Amino acid sequence: MAEEWLAFRIETGRLVYGDRRWYAPWQHEARFTPDHLDVADRHGQIVVSLAWDESLYRADATAMSGGWGILPASRRGPSLVTARSENYQGSLVGYDQQWTLAEGSFVVHGWGQVLAALCEYLTITPRARPGLADESRLHRLLSELAAHDLKDAAYPPFGPLMGPKLDLWVATERVLRQHVHPIRGRLVEGDEPDRGALVGEVLEMLAPSVPDDWRRPEAVLPMIDKLLRSTPWPFEVLAD
């Protein structure tokens, strides 16, 4: 069973995101607990504890309500960000005045999409959070991530979309989101909808202007398959 994978490791029974081989004043670690994402500086001191129920990934989150999240792509690595409640534009800013984005990166290397995806999953799946205290589940999680080499988000390989093909893609994506919750382009393992049942809903959602040639199951099913073809996140091992 994996003890570490990329920037993730299991330390004293806890999942940690960080890399101590790299030392810089701005480096922090993300430590996962059932109640919080604890952020520690390179000396091991907890800088801030972030409740899962206060994350930007929750279903009712808005720019007005505020919350915290992970910015996967930054110059130094994934960064902690928050949308302040008083910032009605919803811009992403540093967590507080003392901890700017440049000081809040977690690790030199990337893989922030995986960190952000896991944080989103834990926010919307409270039943999985107790699994963060189960070391055997943490080992299974890292082993599954390593086995499928899931280093990044996944987005379907489409060419240019226009005309009826764009209409079909928009309708298909809307229907899928009524049944599943893709996280950064991937489903969570076990969250697999019935493709056949989705076809009728997509056809009903198509605009009247879409030509008849595109109003066939043979046109819809390949689009559904493309949107669902990516290897799913194995996060459900924390909850099963």
Query: Which residues, other chains included, contact 219 with Cβ-Cβ below 8 Å and sequence gap of 6+?
Result: 168, 213
CB 106 within 8 A of CB 27: yes
Note the pLDDT tens digit of each residue in 61-118: 655 556 777 877 655 556 666 554 343 333 333 444 334 333 445 554 557 788 889 9
Q: Where are the domains of the chain?
A: 4-148, 163-238
Note the pLDDT tens digit of each residue in 41-77: 777 888 778 889 888 777 766 555 567 778 776 555 5
Query: Which residues, other chains included, contact 166 with Cβ-Cβ below 8 Å and sequence gap of 6+?
Result: none
CB 150 within 8 A of CB 235: no
Q: Is 76 helix (H, G, I), strand (E, B) or coil?
A: coil
Residue located via tokens 């390593």: 146
Beta bridge partners of 81: 69
Give me the phi and psi of 237, to 5 degrees please. -65, -20
Q: Is 147 helix (H, G, I), strand (E, B) or coil?
A: helix
